[in-house]
Structure 1
């Protein structure tokens, strides 16, 4: 099997110097007030001197340092009496005391997926421009999504775009409009559809804004505070804050953009995004990605939607069939239904269908561990790839010593519940070099793509860094054992 796999020299390495800013606000109100008093007590000349040194030390690490400091000043401004006049210098200085840097890639850069770039202009003949998403992990094992881009030329050489020193987080916006019907369905799925939620949602239009929702909650609570269910109101706020939009400055390069956790349900990380270029019924394409939001205790499957990798819509996935990791959306509907691979039981490969992209209620097992190198667990390694022969699915198998390998199956094109081909051995197993890392003996991918009769597979090595392999499709299909 190793004869048909070509490992490329190119690697995507972590860079600890790439940092973002995060709020650094003590949980104790007395500490916040003490710190504010100390900074406000400084003379204007001393404040200017400290701020000048800050600019000297940090301005070349952040494109818009002053704006970032002001954002965090605004987070504590409510604790300062309105009667106090504060100069711009002291506002920025206060902001700096409530700011910390975070190195997004300091621990690892792994679990990649790859799709065609939305802009294929000026690409050499036989080549393609790509977008690669990766899971970046920093201090505290908090994960975010970062991107790389470049061109694969006709001989399958990788030319990566340069990676700027700066990293940018996006502006967060709540959805311009929420769908009342879908919102109600989600509350029912969460088990909080009751008198309180019905009163709040019945006051709203079929499509409502975040501010409309907040006003309705306020009015219902004000009218009957003793009869309002606080648990339900908290759940409504949680759901609203789990569905939002983020937008980057469109002048930034793709590799400058980082999707960092912003909502409470993903406070401990955004894990393993599986991007796919999805073709709608009208022939137009959009990019979706499933990912796992983690808050330190629970996971929540989420969905990303984007057309340009500048603006991203984030929404929740609902239903009994999505309560686990490893969701992978098919790149188009099948027989009028959305289709998704999943892993409900932590052991087998499942498939599920739905007429609504955001709700998934049932699943069925399509693949169970068969060979020794996958006895522990199997799962998908990203969205299926459509071929005339069927749906090609990369899979991962876990064997002795918790070693992860990458393999493949082929599903029937019209009925993907049927396996029509399966490799009898791994396509990729970790070699000696790839076994060393943060989590040893693991190679893993979140999505591959097809180019000129070859499979392009970016994959992580022991959860620390990433490389790429190519496989000739004809040889791969020839080696797949027919099912039955």
Structure 2
């Protein structure tokens, strides 16, 4: 079912794992949504019930909680105290708590969430900012993935891996108990956040923070952006409130501290924006699909503001008649800008293709694959969303392209292809 046998698919399967959990705030609310204000009446009823326990019974209940969630990697008492401190203003009418009562109250306002119970998909890949102790000729990389848990809520999670000079790929197993970042600064929907310095990369989960993100941080397209000798990692992603979508941007230098900010302008009201890895002609450049059907090239002097641009690619072949989009940021080659695309065909079948854009004028398509490079295989069609293969970003490594992609919106895998072989199928387009 795959018409491109020159793609070497590696035996790597990143599957959703329901045992991977984060501990999140529980907010008793008038409506059962995390972003609603806390129902202080209900919250104080819970507190009053805890305070009605005598000290021995409170200690017994707390001991049971600790025993049930006993794990050497998790400092539960510290987490309970932190949550109690966050809720302090809600409990202002109560007397001082004993340490046991305070820990127990913190526990009552937390819950575990299996953030990748349903799916782990739509990966992107970039070089790791730290290449220390890597074997000569090899490269350490970071995979970002979209994780989906209960209620179809999407969050952003990460993996670390290595590719050798011969093309062998390994990915480190994730830590089971994940963690959320500390919000260091927030101005409206502009947010700075940071993870503990000693946390493992695979532990770090960026979960929806704002009302605009309430139902998901979806499909992050990471790119290593170079400007004046400095590399910054940017990712465009879709914020989904449950009713509306918008494009937002995340920025990091080290994958420990992040900044999240909404994008503005008429091109940012839709999903699927992908930033070029450097400025072109002194301006930022983006591939976007704001008409729900075709790809456009847009330029901006301001990284956060995006107007409309020039259409460069429309559905042309049967496998993409419904719509086309990008599969991540363009990759700079000597021959031009390599852009992986996705096309939607009959029965909403998603396949992956590619085009080659002119190096100096990316509005010119100089090569295009007429057939899909990767499409759903019969044995893997079924999943969270059937009949789909999809990627949010590939990476050049030596004479290879490393392409991570998702299968049936359920699990992810990785393929590699020699660049010269790939260029052979990007047939010249008619001028």
TM range (shorter): over 0.9
Distance 1:89 1:336, change over 3 A: same
Q: Distance in 2 between matches of 1:384 and 1:410?
A: 9
State the Cα distance separating 1:32 from its structure 2 match. Answer: 2.0
Gaps of 5+ in 2: 30-38
1:191-210 paired onto structure 2 within 5 Å: none
Alignment of 1:452 with 2:403, yes or no, is: no
Q: 1:299-357 deviations in whole A, cap 9, x for unaligned?
A: 12111111100100111111112110001000000011100001111110111000111
Verify: 1:368 aligned to 2:314, yes or no: yes
User: Which position in structure 1 is the counterpart of 2:7?
Assistant: 5
- Are 1:61 and 1:165, in contact at CA under 8 Å, matched by a contact in 2? no
| In structure 1, C-alpha distance between the alignment counterparts of 2:55 and 2:188, rounded to whole Å | 40
Aligned counterpart in structure 1 of residue 200 of structure 2, from 219, 240, 253: 253
Q: Would you say 1:350 and 2:296 are equivalent positions?
A: yes
Aligned pairs for 1:18-417 within 5 A: 18-27=20-29, 28-60=39-71, 63-82=74-93, 84-174=95-185, 240-280=187-227, 282-417=228-363
Give the number of the structure whose residues are more often helix, by fraction.
1
Cα deviation, residue 83, structure 1: 5.9
* 1:235 alignment counterpart: none
Q: CA deviation at 1:61?
A: 7.9
Report how far residue 85 of structure 1 moved.
2.3
Q: CA RMSD in A?
A: 1.4
State the match for 1:195 in structure 2.
none
CA contact (8 A) 1:397 1:407 kept: yes
Q: Distance in 2 between matches of 1:162 and 1:25?
A: 32
CA deviation map 1:110-163 (0-9, x unaligned): 000000111112222322110000000100111100000011112222211232
> Larger deviation: 164-173 or 74-83?
74-83
Q: Tell me what 2:35 maps to.
A: none
Distance 1:416 1:242 in 2: 32
Secondary structure of 2:347 counterpart: helix
SS in 1 for 2:133: coil
SS at match of 1:340: strand
Match of 1:17 in 2: 19
The separation in 1 between residues aligned to 2:8 and 2:118, in whole angstroms, is: 27
8 Å CA contact retained: 1:126, 1:452: no
Residue 81 of structure 1: CA displacement? 4.5
Give distance in 2, aligned partners of 1:97 and 1:393. Answer: 49
CA contact (8 A) 2:356 2:368 kept: yes
Moved more, 18-27 or 325-334: 18-27
Q: Is the 8 A contact 1:133 1:147 kept in 2?
A: yes
CA distance in structure 1 between the aligned counterparts of 2:210 and 2:164, rounded to whole angstroms: 39
State the secondary structure of the residue aligned to 2:69.
helix
SS of the aligned residue for 1:10 comes to coil
Deviation at 1:241, TM superposition (A): 2.4
Q: 1:101, CA displacement in angstroms?
A: 0.5
Residue 224 of structure 2 aligns to a residue in which SS?
A: strand
Report the Cα distance in structure 2 between the residues aligned to 1:2 and 1:40, rounded to whole angstroms.
66
| CA distance in structure 1 between the aligned counterparts of 2:80 and 2:135, rounded to whole angstroms | 43
* SS of equivalent residue, structure 1 residue 3: coil
Quick check: 1:406–1:427 contact (8 Å CA) kept in 2? yes
Give the drift of 1:75: 3.8
Larger Rg: 1
Q: Tell me, in whole angstroms, the C-alpha distance in 2 between the residues paired with 1:72 and 1:285.
A: 36
Runs of 4+ with deviation above 4 angstroms: none
- Residue 88 of structure 1: how far off its partner (Å): 1.1
TM-superposed CA distance for 1:33, in Å, is 2.4
In 2, the alpha carbon distance for the partners of 1:297 and 1:75 equals 29
CA contact (8 A) 2:23 2:179 kept: no
Residues of 1 paired with 2:237 and 2:72: CA distance?
29
Q: Is the 8 A contact 1:434 1:443 kept in 2?
A: no
Secondary structure of 1:447's counterpart equals coil
Structure 1 contact 174–241 (Cα < 8 Å) conserved:
no
User: 1-side partners of 2:253 and 2:90: how far apart?
Assistant: 41
- Give the TM-score normalised by structure 1: 0.84
Deviation at 1:71, TM superposition (A): 2.8
Compute the displacement of 1:426 (Å).
Answer: 0.4
Deviates more, 1:324-333 or 1:256-265: 256-265
Q: Is the 8 A contact 1:302 1:314 kept in 2?
A: yes
Other-structure match for 2:36: none
Pairs aligned (count): 419
Q: Please give the per-residue CA displacement for 1:167-196, whole angstroms capped at 9, x wherever unaligned.
A: 111101226xxxxxxxxxxxxxxxxxxxxx
Q: Does the 8 A contact of 1:151 with 1:159 survive in 2?
A: yes
Whether contact under 8 Å (2:250, 2:260) holds in the other structure is yes
1:19–1:61: 8 Å Cα contact kept in structure 2?
no
